[in-house]
Amino acid sequence: MTKFTKTTRTLAALLVSGTALTGVASAAEISGNVGATTDYIWRGNTQAGGDASLSGGIDIDFGNGFAVGTWTGSLGGGGADANYEQDLYASYSSEIAGYPLEVGYISYMYPGTAESDLDFADFYVSTSVAGLGISYYMLMSAENDAADAQEGTYLSLDYGYDLADDWTMSLHYGVESFDTDPDDEDTSISLSKGDMTFTVSGDEGDDTRAIVSWGSSF
């Protein structure tokens, strides 16, 4: 994650190990996911140096709006600063005036790196209006002092619609903002069918990338 850089994992740890889990364990629904991609793209930038990436995760939905999960993705050897990424996250979903609303916290960690200042955390809020997904991320804390002192944000707009023969098209626009840097925009268009996704992604100042991904949930 090139610009964002650690945070405490308090919220996720509390929900997993504390009262929330023990109180509603019988109603919790556990699911998993695995995936592979020819390049791990995050906010328009490669995280694996152009190498293939494997990933897997586990999610726990407590059935009362609360959910927690963890996700791990390999970062390859193509110049990445770390060997893999480990995320922990917690969220709460509800509905306000007929619109879905989700708030959450994500901790991004890089245990496989010699550098200790890559980890960081975001708070986010998401909704959907007329099929348009809107997500707004705010940097909560970072191990890197320079990044921690800034107000980092990321706005994501996503729209998807069904095509013929079970194909789905997804359009994405994102813009990342920092106090001392110009805004960085990224766009992508994806075609999906079944477990396969074909994506063309672009970022300001970066080459356009074509990515093939596979993902499955269980």
In a domain, 183, yes or no: yes
Residue 154: which domain range? 10-217
pTM for this entry: 0.83
Opening angle at CA 178, ends 172 and 181, nearest 5: 100
CATH of the domain at 50: 2.40.160.40
Q: What is the pLDDT of residues 206-217, one digit of tens each?
A: 678 999 999 999
In a domain, 94, yes or no: yes
75 Ramachandran zone, left/alpha/beta (phi>0; psi -120 to 50): alpha
In a domain, 156, yes or no: yes
pLDDT band at 95 (very low <50, low <70, confident <90, very high): very high
The total number of structural domains that make up the chain: 1
